[in-house]
Amino acid sequence: MTKTTIADLRASVQDRSAFYNLNDYFILGNSFLSFLQQASLTRIISPSQSNYIFYQYDHDANHRITRPLNKDLFLESPHDFESARENFLDFLNDLRRYNERAATLKKNRKYLASKEINKVIYTMQQSIGSIGDSFDNSNQSRKRIGQLFENLVKLVLKEMGLECEPRTISIPIPDYEGYRMPYELDLVFSRDKAILTTETEYIHQSEIVGSVKTTSKDRIDKIFLDKFLLTKLLERKVPVIAIFLHDVQRAQRGNSIFGIASTFKSNHFLGYTVALNKLDGVYYVDPRPEMTVNERLREQIHDFQQLLVKDLWTLSSR
């Protein structure tokens, strides 16, 4: 059996004909995990936060180092990942059939307690991100990695039975005839197929706007501003949520380059909440510890699993 190489994995990430279904993400995730076992890459534990690890590639990738990976979420075993994949697809099928009632089914209680939903999403996306870290020029892959995370969230929501697509709208500016403000929305989704009319030609009353980013770094202010402007220009409340993968990066700590630093700006987040508006939900696949400890942050920020299991159905029934 031919072994997977880093060149094979890079080609898969760059393949523009792939990733039109969840199975492509599962295949790439499994291939990367198998590659980690076959290639015997150096595994490095962060000295500042021991639940984060790095992998260092060999000479084929010029000994580059992956992004920090949360080993509490990253399923390093291909066998464990395959088992988690089957559980995840079964639960998505239950969500499609039973909606919010899926969480109350006896067979799903243990599954939800395991938080395995977050682990599957994290492993698939961080496999892509780690492959991207092997490129000679990180700019080659950064945009692609973000696009694939946005697409992954879209495919998950569609698998649950929701209508979900990116949308570009051009909103007229009141009192300035002929002037319009263009908006590219990452995702617009709804529980039922919305029919846009002349009164709601941009965003239907039943639709939710989702901003999907791998990290909030340098992006969180725009999401708050988007909600403010959409509400102002459309002259009604527009539900806007934010979905992030993580908010961590590698940093120098003492003599080690394998420290962990948070990129989440809690004061900015709370300031925008007060000065502009609250978002209708903020969800992380890998939340930072302060998001669960700080009472004000805990009120607004939750893990990605909660969005799928509970909040999404509440939002879409408004």
Type of residue at 148: L
pLDDT tens-digit readout, 33-91: 999 999 889 999 999 999 999 999 998 888 899 999 999 999 999 999 999 999 999 99
Confidence bin at 259 (pLDDT 50/70/90): very high
Confidence bin at 252 (pLDDT 50/70/90): confident
Q: Where are the domains of the chain?
A: 6-145, 159-316
pLDDT tens-digit readout, 97-155: 999 999 999 999 999 999 999 999 999 999 999 999 999 887 778 899 999 999 999 99
pTM as predicted? 0.95
Question: Given this model, what pLDDT does residue 195 score?
Answer: 56
Confidence bin at 318 (pLDDT 50/70/90): low
CATH class of the region 159-316:
alpha beta
- Do the beta carbons of residue 120 and residue 75 sit within 8 Å? yes
User: DSSP string of 33-77?
Assistant: HHHHHHHTPEEEE-SS-TTEEEEE--GGGTT-BPPPEETTT----
Least confident of 17-21, 74-78, 89-93, 180-184: 180-184
**Listed residue (242, 215, 255) closest to 302, CA to CA:** 242
The overall longest dimension of the chain from CA atoms, in Å, is 67
